[in-house]
Amino acid sequence: MSKSFYKNSIFYKKYLGSLFIKRQQKEDNFVSLIYLIIKVSFSLLAIVSLIKLGYSSKVRLTRLKEIEDSFSYEKYRFNVLTNKFDDLFSSEGEQRFMKDQDQIISRDIIRVIWR
């Protein structure tokens, strides 16, 4: 029997067809596995990036809150000192200033007031 007989026979077509189908399924499964691995990798990358972004945002908001609190405190101190300074130039401001100095300077220290 010649080779052309075997190539044209039904047995040959069935045998090669099933091998071709099995090989095609293996290739499809391999490609699907690769795509699945890529999808999982990108998903993990996205999750890790979101976690890092959330942590960085939390740190930044905490720092901004600290800066805001510090600014509010310094603004309050500035307003108090501005009011005290303005009081010096009001009527009898010098006398009030001297009274405030009495409370700051301890009693056992001699003061000299120049007039």
Query: What are the pLDDT tens digits along the chain (115 aa)?
Result: 455 555 556 655 666 667 778 888 899 999 999 999 999 999 999 999 999 999 999 999 999 999 999 999 999 999 999 988 888 787 777 777 777 665 555 666 766 667 6
E strand spans, 43-100: none
Token representation of residue 60: 């930044």
pLDDT at residue 20, as a whole number:
78
CB 24 within 8 A of CB 30: no
Q: At what angle do helices 10-88 and 93-104 cross, to 10 degrees?
A: 110
Q: Tell me, what's the pLDDT at 87?
A: 80
pLDDT for the residue numbered 106:
66
pLDDT for position 12 = 59
Structure tokens at 56: 């960085």
